[in-house]
Chain A
């Protein structure tokens, strides 16, 4: 009797469950409508990477990833203004490769990757959902004629917008073109360039957008994007100074070896032919600046125009860097190694962020982020705290699927070969944070992507 039951049970179990099947997740759109999604922003939204906007890099943009995931909850096609070249629209794409420095030493690093471009004059004639424009600041999204080729010569247009701006209205704004799509959902990630332009020029070119002006632009953008009742997600600005672009070259990169040559060079630097007169001058004028070198790593000598405050002549507006100041990835390494930059020759201002400049960037970033948060709050939008995420990346790193993301250049997996823009895996991470924010705000269940399914930085 019992045996018979057992056999029945066995048969039942066999029939019911031949294969295991987990079904714990049902995609749903919650309180949002993803039918028409438009992405408004800058190079990060566009999918810019490795110093260029190129075909495969663009396909991995977090906005595109988001658009694909929205498709599981009723989202329509997400169309990007496709770049057809793997080398980009403008030259400057980098790849990992071997290069030989001025000392004849070969090393692996970013090198130019030249090839046939897809120039911006090849106009994209179809309507696009990804309106990310590399280089755009908040103001630019509202600027009439920013996509008008006639304005290029005057610097009032952006070739990346020119290539896909509607030709029916040559003075259409980026946000205006976004609205022409009648979006039901939008993302807005803008503001990075409002500080980044200043930061990547070492505080020497460009200016940081005025905070009041930023507030006006930002609320204006949000007002426009929500007029049709669209829901959306916004992201704030990361601390740009923790990106690999600013953290890769240490300020104490001047290494004087304990060799006869090193000792000799040291004697020159610290002697009457070197900085002894400078130190004497500073001392006699009661100023705290001193330049001294020792065996081992030394802080670089830099130009600091801010020292004009002390009425110093230009050739004395130099000093050694201090801990916490940053050298830019664009600083020519060969000039350090072979042309005594940083020791005999002061490093030009545009390669350095001084403490004062960093403070200015940080306080502006905080002010802008406050505005972004207030705008998100006022309109009940999903909000991605990229600034907090970036802090975590820069301090402890974050790990997904066995890949650890830090702000280390190349091996940190997050930043592509320009040190600022994201790798495909970095884009996937960002897309997942956006999805988390949207799911949280709108009670949606948009599936997240597998970070490990995206390619790493290719090594030669």
Chain B
């Protein structure tokens, strides 16, 4: 087993350099983070609100709270096709976080609430970089609030469902070709709804299955603020302030997972996540004023992706657990429509994690992920924008959980 794992890991690492995932961020629990982001067949307490509401009612303790965050440090390097000009992003660290709390009403019913950030993207290119007419910078954030109820039929089988209130913010800056400093700023927010349902089945003490579905949520920006900085003579055709509508889909996920207690100390888990990116066809903006001139349709034509994950947890003793995992995330992007706003390459990631329990009730969880985006030449054909991208992402995270 050990040899096979090592072989797999090294061959993945060297045969395909790595990263993907559109603008999805699955850093919703520092224990799961350490295990290749496997979570649907695990029962790590209140973080099941995100990973599998079905598992929530099978948590061992009466109350469970978790709180944590990660720091995504990402770097993208871009080299123009047919040239030795390179451009790097200067991305600020983005910090997805999560807060969960759950409590048992009785032996069968558990309720909880989670606040977490499963989608986000921050890309900051230089204002004068070669792709400035496509994007200068973009910041996309979504916060989900999910009250959840979970029910178990017996000690082995639980189901659960959560209602999701999704609040999103997006801000985009891009240059426009009317003068050296002409630009457009689009800023909007949205409130939308969705749900998260899951089922958890503990076949034996050693073997568990989980399945979870999180619905698609369409982030609809209505009446967002558009600001155009253009020369005075153009302000009748391009109004300096405008309102815009746009819609960005946050795709549905269907996750299948199995976990296996191999030895008393070693827990292994596998997962396959089906991310339904196929819903992201186009990013369209429509404007209130001068719509005919300004409206834009920007094809994306994403395709669904399937992410295989593997994770392991090794209990060193009562106080320490070590974790490791890896996954391979395909890029959902279309060959013809790869844009520098979301540099999403085929990605390999490995993860590490450590938990320390100073007292039985408290766990301090740290994790570290490194993501390697496969070096690849990509093109956005409508703008004839072509070049080679590479990404490396580091994500340290820390969290605590408390139970009683």
B392 CB contact (under 8 Å) in A5, A18, A24, A98: A18
Contact call B131/A14, Cβ cutoff below 8 A: no
Contact call B392/A25, Cβ cutoff below 8 A: no
Question: Does B79 have its Cβ within 8 Å of any Cβ on chain A?
Answer: yes
Contact call A10/B352, Cβ cutoff below 8 A: yes
B6 CB contact (under 8 Å) in A5, A401, A458: A5
Contact call B234/A459, Cβ cutoff below 8 A: yes
When chains A and B are docked, how far (Å) is the Cα of A432 from the Cα of B81?
12
When chains A and B are docked, how far (Å) is the Cα of A22 from the Cα of B87?
10
When chains A and B are docked, how far (Å) is the Cα of A452 from the Cα of B135?
12
Interface positions of B from 77 to 132, Cβ below 8 Å from A:
77-86, 88, 128, 130-132
Nearest B residue to A458 via CB reads B179
Question: Does B11 have its Cβ within 8 Å of any Cβ on chain A?
Answer: no
Contact call B130/A24, Cβ cutoff below 8 A: no
Contact call A450/B83, Cβ cutoff below 8 A: yes
Question: Does A456 have its Cβ within 8 Å of any Cβ on chain B?
Answer: yes
| Closest-CB distance, B48 to chain A (whole angstroms) | 26
Question: Does A274 have its Cβ within 8 Å of any Cβ on chain B?
Answer: no
Question: Does A305 have its Cβ within 8 Å of any Cβ on chain B?
Answer: no
Interface positions of A from 7 to 42, Cβ below 8 Å from B:
7, 9-10, 13-14, 17-27
Contact call A20/B233, Cβ cutoff below 8 A: no
Stretch at the interface among B145-153, B198-206, B253-261, B369-377: B369-377
Within 8 Å CB of B83, what residues of A?
A: 25, 447-450
Contact call A22/B5, Cβ cutoff below 8 A: no
Within 8 Å CB of A456, what residues of B?
A: 177-180
Contact call B350/A9, Cβ cutoff below 8 A: yes
Interface positions of A from 403 to 460, Cβ below 8 Å from B:
403, 413, 432, 435-436, 447-450, 452-453, 455-456, 458-460
Nearest A residue to B370 via CB reads A13
| Closest-CB distance, B231 to chain A (whole angstroms) | 4
Within 8 Å CB of A27, what residues of B?
A: 84
When chains A and B are docked, how far (Å) is the Cα of A9 from the Cα of B85?
32
**A-contact 0/1 string along B342-379, CB 8 Å cutoff:** 00000000101000000000000000101011010100
Stretch at the interface among B52-60, B160-168, B220-228, B380-388: B380-388
Q: A17-B392, A72-B84, A458-B179 in contact; A24/B79 too (CB < 8 A)? A: yes
B84 CB contact (under 8 Å) in A19, A398, A447, A452: A447
Question: Does A306 have its Cβ within 8 Å of any Cβ on chain B?
Answer: no
Q: A20-B390, A458-B231 in contact; A10/B368 too (CB < 8 A)? A: yes
Question: Does A2 have its Cβ within 8 Å of any Cβ on chain B?
Answer: yes
Nearest A residue to B19 via CB reads A20
List 24 A-B pairs, Cβ < 8 Å: A1-B2, A2-B312, A3-B322, A5-B6, A10-B352, A14-B394, A19-B75, A20-B391, A20-B392, A22-B78, A22-B388, A23-B79, A25-B82, A26-B84, A399-B384, A402-B133, A402-B177, A448-B80, A448-B82, A450-B80, A452-B130, A452-B175, A456-B177, A458-B231
Within 8 Å CB of B384, what residues of A?
A: 398-402
Contact call A459/B177, Cβ cutoff below 8 A: no
Highest count of chain B CB atoms <10 Å: which of A6, A10, A22: A22
Q: For the side of the interface on A, what is the size category?
A: 35 or more
When chains A and B are docked, how far (Å) is the Cα of A402 from the Cα of B386?
11
**Which residues of B line the A interface, CB within 8 A?**
2, 5-6, 9-10, 13, 75-86, 88, 128, 130-134, 175, 177-180, 230-234, 312, 314, 322, 324, 350, 352, 368, 370, 372-373, 375, 377, 382-385, 388-392, 394
Contact call A17/B372, Cβ cutoff below 8 A: yes
When chains A and B are docked, how far (Å) is the Cα of A7 from the Cα of B352?
8
Contact call A20/B75, Cβ cutoff below 8 A: yes
B370 CB contact (under 8 Å) in A7, A14, A435, A449: A14
**Which residues of A line the B interface, CB within 8 A?**
1-3, 5-7, 9-10, 13-14, 17-27, 72, 96, 98, 108, 398-403, 413, 432, 435-436, 447-450, 452-453, 455-456, 458-460
Contact call A459/B231, Cβ cutoff below 8 A: yes
Nearest B residue to A13 via CB reads B370
Given A3-B322, A13-B372, 5 more A-B residue pairs with CB atoms under 8 Å apart are A7-B352, A19-B392, A20-B391, A25-B79, A401-B131
Which 3 A-B pairs give the minimum distances between C-beta atoms?
A402-B133, A459-B231, A20-B390
| Closest-CB distance, B364 to chain A (whole angstroms) | 18
When chains A and B are docked, how far (Å) is the Cα of A452 from the Cα of B383?
11
When chains A and B are docked, how far (Å) is the Cα of A196 from the Cα of B389?
44
Within 8 Å CB of B80, what residues of A?
A: 448, 450
Q: A21-B77, A22-B78, A22-B390 in contact; A450/B84 too (CB < 8 A)? A: no
| Closest-CB distance, B328 to chain A (whole angstroms) | 15
